[in-house]
Every structure is written in structure tokens, then in C-alpha cells.
Amino acid sequence: MIRILIAFLLLGSLNVKADEGMWIPMLLKKLNHEKMKKMGLKLTPEQLYDVNQASLKDAVVWFGGGCTAEVISAKGLVLTNHHCGYGAITALSTAKDNILDNGFWAKSYQEERPAPGITVSFLVRMDDISTEVLDSVKNLSEKDRAKRLPAIYKSITDRVTKGTTYEAQCREMFKGNAYYLFVFERFTDIRLVGAPPQNIGKFGGETDNWMWPRHTGDFSMFRIYSDKDGKAAKYSADNIPYTPKYFLPISLKGVNKGDFSMIMGFPGRTNRYEFSQGVQIATDMVDPAIVKLRDVRLNAWKEQMVKDVDVRLKLTSQFAGVANYWKFYRGEAEQLKNNKVFEQKQKEELAFGKWAADKTEYKNLLTDVSKAFEAYKPISLQATYLGEGISSPFISRMTAMAIAIEDAIAKGDDKTTEKVKSQMLASLDDIPFSGTIIDADKRIFDSILVLYCNNIPKDQQPKFVGEMIIKGNANSREAIKNYTNDIFTTSIFADMDMVKAWFKNPRISLLKNDPMYKHIKAFRNYYNDNFKPKVDEYNETTLALGRLYIKGLMEMQPTKQFYPDANSSMRLTYGIVSPYMKFPMITNLDEVIEKNIKFKGNPEFDVPQRLIDLQKSKDYGRYAMKDGKLPVAFLTDNDITGGNSGSPVIDGEGRIIGLAFDGNWEAMSGNIHFDPANKRTICVDIRYVLFLIDKYGQASNIINELKIVQ
Ligand code: ARG
């Protein structure tokens, strides 16, 4: 009886199986369109991706290099997540004119604010360049191949962009079994149009991050400006709102369980073809180390941020970024274990091993993989402790910039030196090194050294640690404290004015005598001499073996459709609106207010009084659901990852129903293994977005620009 019941339950869960795959838009017609049609898509493959006529892909843009956005009006208005616009919104905020906390709605073009550093790139086209690239690397060793690739890429991108204003990128697919070219037009005059107060746009903060049920109004809006001819141009007051090739209409119809949903965007990185040993390194070594090291920065920053608005505004964007992946790695380690990903990978490898046993090309593959991991495991924390640890304090980052200038000078090319100098001076803007932030940085510097000494085996530490930091002191804690004090009183890098002066007029002798320079150089040189060759070897070997593994898997399962790992190139994932376990499929505004009451005193759950009033009066207009409540967020079973943030969630007719902004905690293992039972995408409902623009922000100018269909 119980058995029958279990069989039944299993069948039931198969029905709501999430849809795996981040597919290449150019190949949808060949690989996916039939299935998409069966699931509810009404559009032709050409309406999704075409290079000759306007298609959906022309409305989906790469936002700032780490997010996705979509064009939603004939005047170049783009919609993305609040957390994607966060850096720009905070950079435009001051204690006096605090648009981060108060929200911002431009009521005319004139009120829009140039957003520093934001870029928007349109994909002009993509091409399969596998033959050309693979021919050029034929018979090369992995090392030579890695060396050769940049030159091949450059010759291809130079060729296709010659005489145009386009930019191009080549990307490896299936770990180098295939290569694709992507041609972009990049716009840099981007202006902020609207954002809700962060109590709405980041409601739930770090507590709710990566979790469902969710109640975040995670959106912001920008506008693309072009020159008078509609071409990308740098900022000018004379630039005009851009007229796009295509923009997405918005649906007010709302979502129902089982509705078709697709998401187009720029997913950043996955590693779905990772070997079982790689899973072990993530769970046992690297992920916990990142969490431990990031804890240090977060605690020190938070202590200062709560005391002062200016300090909070200066640090909040970096805090959110560090906190986001602090929690990500905690979740990834936890869910890789919960979801038994190591065991699943082992099972897959076992099946592969059986199939490969009599095939010369593949039969040694898994043994070679084991050898590579055995050699790497003991040193697998080195790169993390250098990157996330020693190099992470602001003072270390500024020192690294000075070293970049030193390296440029050593090359003896004045033009390059000037370029690097001005780049580094500009990068200093990202480093808010003043007042109590210096106190925090000092604490970070100190605590990181303690972690380094405690967690990196003694025989893997540079002599510098014993000779210059601990100096034979029996109390190493005390020694690190003294060393930190010395650094922060004697180094030029402990003073922003001195750093700036040095960047403008770099005197190498001064640099070489600086204790911070000696510090960073000691750790870096030690890593470069002792570990880098081994780490490179591991990366090259596992890449080559991974490439062979994927090739073998494809031969082993000739009818299966494979998709390549995410690599920040444009992809499409399709699936359905789908609940998750016992949780609701859709959340509403009443629950926002309930959370606000339940977590009283926790600023992450504060809400503006105006939102409370609107909820009381239930004045939701056409944005309400059938039950009269206002939708906030919903779930789909689409396959996304970081970088997809801000992507449009699109129905079968090509209309926006929401914005993707997160994944659920139970599927945090998703970058390494897709788990159909657990994997969900968290989307902000487009009706909540429109309600906030319309009723909360009273920006009818924005609403009037949109193409809204019932
Ligand atoms: N987890 C979300 C993502 O990676 C980002 C959320 C940003 N918010 C935050 N609380 N740090 O797309």
C-alpha cells in the first residue's frame, strides 16, 4: 500500500518537473520550438530570435555587465531589478537628497539623472565560430591552446567590428567543444528614471534574500539615450531618448498555475558538468572559506553603517554585493549536501565509466580526473584566501592598483602608463576610504590575517608571515595587532590623499619602501611562485577533461539535447508558472504588511507609511487579482542563475508578466546541478511594478509610455 502511494507521489511530482536548460536563442528553432509550442508558446522562432527583422531578443539587453534589463517603450525606457540599479541609485544619493531611501520618479525627461557607470548592450547578432576556432587550436597542448585563444578571438572580433561602432566577444561553449561570437552595440548615456524606496525595492533585505516566500518590489527603471542619429554616444545634454528596434508589451492578465513562461537574459556562470570531486571541494573547502572571509567584511562594515547615513550610503552597495554571495555560498554548500549532489554526480560518472570502459578516447578519463583533483585538493584554499582574504581590504585594493601602475611603468610605454593611471584614478572612486570606514578597514585587515594564520597550513604560508608579522612573538594575536597598527600609521595607502597624490605622480622608490607594498608583494609572489603553476595546471587539466567528458556524454546519449553552461551570453529558458511544495505560488501586499508587523524593529522589514496607507484603502485599481488582493511576487520553474537578474518573464504571447530576481534556498545547489523537484525562479509580478509606478509613485508619465494589454 505504502509503495503504491509512493509511486503515486513520485508520478505527481514528475508532472511539475521544472524545466532544465539555458538555451542558445539562435538554436531554438532547431532544438526547442516544438516543445515550447506544446507548452503554450504562440510565437514563431523568428519572433524570438532573428537578425533581419525586429524580434524579442532586440528588447532584451545586457545591463552593466552583470544583469539583464528589457526595453519597454518606444522611447528607450528599460526595466531591471532594483538590486541591479542599486549601485547607481546609491551613487546618486546623499543624506540630503536620499533617493535610495525615499525613492525617485522622474516626471519628465529633464528630471532623469545620468547614472554613472551604467551601460546597456544590445545583441546585434550571434554566430557559430566553432570551425574557425577549433581549426586554429588543433593539436595544441592545453597550455598552448589557452595562450593561443585570445589572439584568435581578437582577430575574429577585429574582423567583424571593423568599420562599425559595434563591440564583439567570443565565448567558449561546452568547455571548448564549440565557440560562439556575440556582436553588441553598447550605450553609455543611461539615466535613472524611477526606483521605489529601498524599503520596497529591497524589502526583506538579507534575511529574505535567496528565499521564498518573498515580498520584494525588486525593480528600477532607466532610459537609454543616443545621439541625434540614434547611435550610441557618450553622455551629452543634446542626446535624445533612444528609439529601439523592438520593445516588450506588458500583460495585466496575471499568472495561473501551469501558464507558459519564458525568460530571456544573460545568465552569468554555471558549472553543470562539474565532476563529483569538484562538488566535494566546494562543500568542504572553498564555499565555507568564502563565507568565513566575507563575514569579516560584513561585520566590520555593518558596525559603522548603522551609526551614520553618509557611511551607510557609501558602503551599502558593496555590502549588498558581498552579502549576496556570502549567503549564496552558505546556501550552495548546504544544498549540495542536502540534495546529495556529490552522490548523483558519482552515479553519473559510474554510468559513464561503464560506457567508456572499451573506448580508447574515454577509458582513462575518470582516473585522470581523480589525479587532477588529488593534486589540487591540498592547495584549494590558496586562491580563495588570497582573493577573498588578503586582497579584500580597501587598503589592499589600493595597493594592488599602485602595483598595476608600477607594472605599466616597467613596460616603458608612456601611452599605456597614462591610460592605466587614469583608469586607476577612476577606480579609486569605488573606494570610500575615509573616517570610520578606515577604522572598519583596519579591523578587516587584522581579522583576515588572523584567519589566514589559523586556516592556512604553516608550510603553505610565506616566510614573510613569520619574519615580518609574527616576528617570533609568542602571542601571534598580539603580533598581528601591532603589525596592523604599524601598517595603518606608516603606509601611504592608509591615507586617501597620499594615495591620490602617488597615483598622479608615481614615485617607484617611495612605493617600494612602503610596508603595504611589501605586504601585498610578499603574499602575491609567494602564491605566484608556489601555487599559481599548480592552480593553472589544475584549471587547464580539468577544463580539457571536462571538454572530453561532455563530448563523451553526447556520444553516450545521442538523442539527448544538451545546453552549454551559462557564460554571460544570451540564453532563453522556458517552463511554467509553478508552486513550490507547501508554499504559496504567489504572494500579496497584505503579507508585506504582516511581515512588517511581525519583524517590527528590524529595518529590513520597514515599509513606507504611504504603502501601508495604500494597502489599507485597497486602492489597487486594475492591478488587483481576482480576490481583490495586490500580487507581489510569484514562482516559475525556469532555469536561471545570477546575471539573469532583471530578465523579463514573458508569457506565450510575448508579453511581460514579471521580472526574474532570485532563486529559492532549496535549490542553491543549482549552479552545479539542476534539481527539477526544487528549482524555482522568483519573479516580481509586473502588476506590483505598475502599481508602484502608478499609485505609489504617481508617475503617470511613465505609465503612459508603456504598452499595457489586458
Ligand atoms: N539574490 C539576488 C540575486 O543574486 C540578489 C539580491 C540582492 N539583494 C540583497 N539583499 N543583497 O540575484
Res. 1: pLDDT tops 80: no
pLDDT band at 116 (very low <50, low <70, confident <90, very high): confident
Note whether 21 and 96 are same-domain residues: yes
User: Does the active-site annotation cover 218?
Assistant: yes
Note whether 249 and 111 are same-domain residues: yes
Note whether 258 and 308 are same-domain residues: no
Given a contact cutoff of 8 angstroms between Cβ atoms, the answer to whether 158 and 199 are in contact is no
Note whether 605 and 479 are same-domain residues: no
Note whether 97 and 218 are same-domain residues: yes
pLDDT tens profile 90-102: 999 999 999 999 9
Atom of ligand 1 nearest to the CA of 661: 12
pLDDT tens profile 591-629: 999 999 999 999 999 999 999 999 999 999 999 999 999
Pick from 324, 641, 683 the residue to mutate for probing ligand 1's pocket: most ligand atoms within 8 Å of its CB.
Answer: 324
- Domain end point (choices 484, 507, 533): 533
Note whether 518 and 399 are same-domain residues: yes
- pTM of this prediction? 0.96
Amino acid sitting at position 447: S
329 lines ligand 1 (CB under 6 A): no
Atom of ligand 1 nearest to the CA of 210: 1
CA of 185 to the centre of ligand 1 (A): 27
Phi/psi at 178 (5° precision) = -145, 160
Residue 143 lies in a domain: no
From the list 121, 317, 569, 645, the catalytic residue is 645
Note whether 235 and 360 are same-domain residues: no
Give me the CATH number covering residue 237: 2.40.10.120
Residue 539 lies in a domain: no
Rounded Cα distance, 164 and 448, in Å: 48
> Nearest to residue 388, comparing CAs of 467, 482, 294, 260?
294
pLDDT band at 65 (very low <50, low <70, confident <90, very high): confident
Look at residue 8 in the predicted model and tell me its pLDDT. 40
Residue 544 lies in a domain: no
Pick from 209, 319, 330, 682 the residue to mutate for probing ligand 1's pocket: most ligand atoms within 8 Å of its CB.
Answer: 209
Residue 393: cis peptide before it, omega within 30 degrees of 0: no
Look at residue 19 in the predicted model and tell me its pLDDT. 84
662 lines ligand 1 (CB under 6 A): yes
Res. 177: pLDDT tops 90: yes
pLDDT band at 18 (very low <50, low <70, confident <90, very high): low
Look at residue 142 in the predicted model and tell me its pLDDT. 95
Note whether 406 and 505 are same-domain residues: yes
pLDDT tens profile 316-326: 999 999 999 99
Given a contact cutoff of 8 angstroms between Cβ atoms, the answer to whether 170 and 184 are in contact is no
Rounded Cα distance, 473 and 392, in Å: 26
User: Does the active-site annotation cover 83?
Assistant: yes
- Domain end point (choices 506, 533, 560): 533
In angstroms, the Cα distances linking 493 to 398, 500, 545 are 7, 9, 43
Look at residue 285 in the predicted model and tell me its pLDDT. 97
Look at residue 692 in the predicted model and tell me its pLDDT. 98
Res. 369: pLDDT tops 90: yes
Note whether 296 and 431 are same-domain residues: yes
User: Does the active-site annotation cover 439?
Assistant: no
> Nearest to residue 202, comparing CAs of 66, 100, 93, 341?
100
Grid cell listed for 633: 511576487
Residue 643 lies in a domain: yes
> In which domain, by residue range, is 49 found?
2-119+188-267+571-709
Grid cell listed for 575: 517552463
Note whether 641 and 693 are same-domain residues: yes
- The number of folded domains in the chain is 2
Q: How much is the mean pLDDT over the chain?
A: 96
- Domain end point (choices 533, 554, 584): 533
Residue 75 lies in a domain: yes
Note whether 197 and 322 are same-domain residues: no
Look at residue 215 in the predicted model and tell me its pLDDT. 98
98 lines ligand 1 (CB under 6 A): no
Look at residue 710 in the predicted model and tell me its pLDDT. 85
Note whether 259 and 337 are same-domain residues: no
CA of 209 to the centre of ligand 1 (A): 6
Residue 559 lies in a domain: no
Atom of ligand 1 nearest to the CA of 324: 11
Question: By alpha-carbon position, which residue is closest to atom 2 of ligand 1?
Answer: 662
CA of 215 to the centre of ligand 1 (A): 13
Atom of ligand 1 nearest to the CA of 327: 1
Res. 11: pLDDT tops 90: no
Mean per-residue pLDDT for 337-353?
Answer: 98
Mean per-residue pLDDT for 304-310?
Answer: 97
Residue 334 lies in a domain: yes
Res. 15: pLDDT tops 80: no
pLDDT band at 7 (very low <50, low <70, confident <90, very high): very low
Residue 406 lies in a domain: yes
Look at residue 395 in the predicted model and tell me its pLDDT. 98
